[in-house]
């Protein structure tokens, strides 16, 4: 498998100032933040997909509920990032505290899932 993904991301990050359009009114840092947010959503989506694949392979075993919790935590983190991007693009006006609260809930469920896996495996 070719390693095209990481260099292409690096190239996008370097081109971010060139992509900025004066008509959008977004600063260079906002474009970079937007690209990184989209990247985070894509990578977290891959994590959801992998967690659900592992969950389906376990077929109701002891680890199945832990992987289900992990998938749910990744979905919550995607929701937090989408809310942050809508705030960045001025689609919605959401307080940064609300975004941090959603992330805290996502990370808490992630911690619960990891602790369940650890408990089953030990």
Query: Which residues, 6+ apart, have CB-to-CB distance to 67 below 8 Å?
Result: 51, 52, 54, 55, 58, 113, 117
Please tell me the distance from the alpha carbon of residue 94 to that of residue 43, in angstroms, as a whole number: 23
pTM, two decimal places: 0.74
Distance, CA of 26 to CA of 85 (rounded, Å): 13
Q: Number of folded domains in the chain? A: 1
Please report the pLDDT score of residue 90 as a whole number. 85
For residue 93, what are the CA distances in angstroms to 28, 77, 89, 110? Answer: 21, 19, 9, 27
| Structural domain for 80, as ranges | 5-121
Local mean pLDDT, 10-residue blocks, the chain (122 residues): 50 47 60 90 94 89 91 95 91 91 95 94 90
């Amino acid at each position: 498998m070719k390693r095209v993904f990481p260099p292409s991301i690096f190239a996008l990050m370097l081109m971010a100032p060139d992509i900025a359009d004066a008509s959008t009114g977004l600063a260079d840092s906002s474009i970079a933040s937007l690209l990184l947010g989209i990247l985070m959503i894509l990578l977290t989506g891959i994590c959801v997909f992998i967690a659900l694949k592992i969950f389906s392979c376990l077929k109701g075993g002891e680890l199945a509920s832990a992987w289900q919790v992990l998938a749910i935590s990744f979905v919550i983190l995607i929701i937090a990032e989408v809310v942050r991007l809508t705030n960045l693009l001025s689609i919605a006006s959401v307080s940064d505290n609300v975004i941090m609260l959603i992330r805290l809930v996502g990370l808490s469920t992630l911690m619960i899932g990891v602790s369940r896996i650890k408990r089953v495996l030990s």
